[in-house]
Chain A
Amino acid sequence: MSRLQTKLSALKVVGKTALIPYITAGDPSPKATVALMHLLVEKGADVIELGVPFSDPMADGPVIQKAVERALIHNVSLDDVLEYVRVFREQDMETPVVLMGYLNPIEAQGYEAFANAASSVGVDAVLTVDMPPEESKGYLEALQQANLDRIFLVSPTTPDNRLSAVNEKGSGFVYYVSLKGVTGSKELDVEDVARNMKRLQQSLNMPMGIGFGIKDGATAFEMAKIGDAVIVGSALVKLIEANQSKGSYDIHLAIGKKMTEFRTALDKADALKGQE
């Protein structure tokens, strides 16, 4: 089993919902990322999702678009992101790292070269927003051979007949996009998510993470009741934006506080689930 799969099964055994925070690599500056990753772990992250900056993030809302623009001012490349993971692994061999991004930077490296490089620095899984299972020939094999998990997205609009491809080609977990929209948008409709998750859980053979639009502890609590993992991105990235002029101390303080809010909410939901 991969580091990611091991982690998620261990959490399941003890009845814990995984907390998966997202940050954009290189935001607000290249030197900030590794320290932020360690902070996230210290504040309760079970898995880290690291965003690979891309010039045209068409599935992301304004918060992550701006994060990407901040990173690209420093020309943060996919190679740089892999280097951050390598340095992170010098101190943390336990926390799984998922790269999230768009296909073109991976295309530019070549699937195999990328997969081997990512695996060798300690990346565990890859989620590519604009790579549906239908187009994944070549990409999939390269990741598989490098022992990297393949995360695919499932959305409220995904019809049942496309789920078997996700089972067959995906691994690690399935990322459920909780709303129709871009990252960080709108209010979540908890009942709608619950209804869809029920349908999907019957067909999917992997743990399910829920992401997009989870802003605070209260929403995270509701999501933890229905999913195996809760993914939070824009809510954290927004704090980097708000505190960037003040410096890393204030960014860490704000992110730490928000992470505690999420972790507490998840623990509360887990305790409740344990009693049932």
Chain B
Amino acid sequence: MKMDFSKYPDEHGHFGPYGGVFAPETLMAALEQLKDEYASVKNDPAFLKELAEDLQNYVGRPTPLYYAKRWSEHLGGGKIYLKREDLNHTGAHKVNNTIGQALLAKRLGKKRIIAETGAGQHGVASATVAARLGLECVVYMGADDVVRQAPNVARMRMLGATVIPVESGTKTLKDALNEAMRDWVTNVDDTFYIIGTVAGPHPYPAMVRDFQSIIGREAKQQALQHENKLPDVLIACVGGGSNAIGLFHEFLEDDSVEMYGVEPAGLGLETGQHAAPLCKGTPGVFHGNRTYLMQDKNGQILGTHSISAGLDYPGVGPEHAWLKDIGRVNYVAVDDEEALQGFRDLTRFEGIIPALESSHALAYATKLVPTLSKDKMIVVNLSGRGDKDMNTIAQIEGIEF
């Protein structure tokens, strides 16, 4: 029987056993309100028109589907196309979602928005829409990430946002999310929490997915225009999983399309120093939903490691957990070194400097594509550009500013 993916999640936010609303009581009413408001606008032509216009005129969509000819020929397998989310305003796919959630915040009459951020791309995208709508914006960011993604911290502050470094726990993305939740519990009356990925309590995973699905809808049209067929393979990196769901979702019911979600293997899957819950984790409940987690046998959440701050997270969106279990998407991992090589390859073969997050997807392409026949079409989601990673890369490569 053919699966109807549009039926997921159910009305309580469940993707099979995953997802749900595991939130503190103080937030339950706000989540219910958000769920109702989102349900009422998601098919509202006026809302969708405003969203479409913003995406076109402010974000710069549609983003191109670019044939990476020289890199494809070098790898000697199929034809690699890049979905150029790096060309969006603010430099990554994150803005697709913040534009949508900001419109909701406005409709709900909220004066203040908060966000968590890892690499800073979601923080920048949130600060950007806040500036545009004249809303107060507070961004929580792990203290370690504030250091390694300094250019984005500067951008957020320039845009008028308050960036609060989070010193608790492991000082990375998960701790930023904890702190944002604490803020939301305290200021729930006037504050809208823009979650940046397809995780958190319902309706966030479904809502963020819907806003990001523009990536796959465009890619499908563009693939037909370029090659007159659907892609054979899709590849995207997975931290929380928003760019991957954004690309995959439109293709879930197209059985011929193979999909690969690429997790960060950090120093290696066998070392424990990684952030690959789908490859190496177990199901549990964290940050408002049931999903695969990096945890110990006592249910404590483990610290993670990845060279890319945006993927350095011990959980993953619940829809990915479910897509893994039903076998629709393959989840694989590449380590820090491989990701760096992916970064170098794209930079040198195509003149495109990718984000370290996206470099994980590129690195997997370098492994997979040589094994494919030349008639295959591969779409890699180039989720963001690498400007923010200059410090990290320069340090590794011994380049001085």
Contact = CB atoms under 8 A, between A and B. Distances in A.
Contacts of B290: 107
A32 interface: no
Main secondary structure of the interface of B (DSSP, over half): mixed
Nearest to A176: B25
Interface stretch (A155-163, A237-245, A249-257): A155-163
A61 B186 CA distance: 11
B140 to A, nearest CB: 12
B185 A182 contact: yes
Nearest to B177: A58
Nearest to B25: A153
A103 B182 contact: no
B323 interface: no
Contacts of A108: 284, 295, 297-299
Contact of B185 (A78, A158, A180): A180
B30 A157 contact: yes
Contacts of A153: 24-26
Contacts of B293: 104
Nearest to B300: A55
Contact of B28 (A61, A157, A182): A157
Contact of A185 (B186, B188, B284, B285): B186
A168 interface: no
Contacts of B385: none
B28 A158 contact: yes
Interface in B164-208: 168-169, 174-175, 177-178, 181-182, 185-189
Given A134-B21, A157-B29, A58 B295 contact: no
A107 B185 CA distance: 24
Contacts of B29: 157-159, 162
Interface stretch (A124-132, A140-148, A226-234): A124-132
A59 B28 CA distance: 13
Interface in A66-119: 69, 72, 75, 77-79, 103-109
Contacts of B287: 56, 58
Nearest to B27: A157
A181 interface: yes
A157 B190 CA distance: 13
A177 interface: yes
Interface-centre pick from A77, A106, A134, A153 (highest chain B CB count, 10 A):
A134
A180 B189 CA distance: 9
Given A59-B185, A78-B298, A78-B299, A177 B25 contact: yes
Contacts of B187: 180
Contact of B299 (A58, A106, A154, A159): A106
B251 interface: no
Contacts of A105: 298-300
Contact of B301 (A56, A61, A156): A56
A110 to B, nearest CB: 11
Contact of B21 (A132, A154, A157, A185): A132
A221 interface: no
Contacts of B12: 134
Contact of A135 (B22, B169, B298): B22
A106 B286 CA distance: 12
A132 B185 contact: no
A252 B169 CA distance: 28
A186 B185 CA distance: 13
Nearest to A175: B25
Contacts of B181: 58-59
Given A55-B169, A154-B25, A181 B286 contact: no
B23 interface: yes
Contact of B178 (A58, A129, A180): A58
B288 interface: yes
A72 B25 contact: no
Contacts of A104: 284-286, 293, 295, 299-301
Given A58-B287, A152-B25, A107 B182 contact: no
A173 interface: no
Contacts of B24: 58-59, 129-130, 153, 155
A56 B298 contact: no
Given A130-B288, A157-B28, A157-B29, A103 B22 contact: yes
B231 interface: no
A61 B182 contact: yes
Contacts of B283: 107
B174 A56 contact: yes
B241 interface: no
A237 to B, nearest CB: 16
Interface string B123-134: 000000000000
Contacts of B185: 59, 180-182
A17 interface: no
B354 interface: no
6 shortest interchain CB distances as A-B pairs: A108-B299, A105-B299, A153-B25, A77-B298, A155-B26, A181-B186
Interface of A: 53-59, 61-62, 65, 69, 72, 75, 77-79, 103-109, 129-132, 134-135, 152-159, 162, 177, 180-182, 185-186
26 contacts: A54-B300, A55-B300, A55-B301, A56-B286, A57-B178, A62-B168, A69-B168, A77-B298, A77-B300, A104-B286, A104-B300, A104-B301, A107-B299, A108-B297, A130-B285, A131-B22, A134-B21, A152-B25, A154-B25, A155-B24, A155-B26, A158-B25, A180-B26, A180-B186, A180-B188, A181-B185
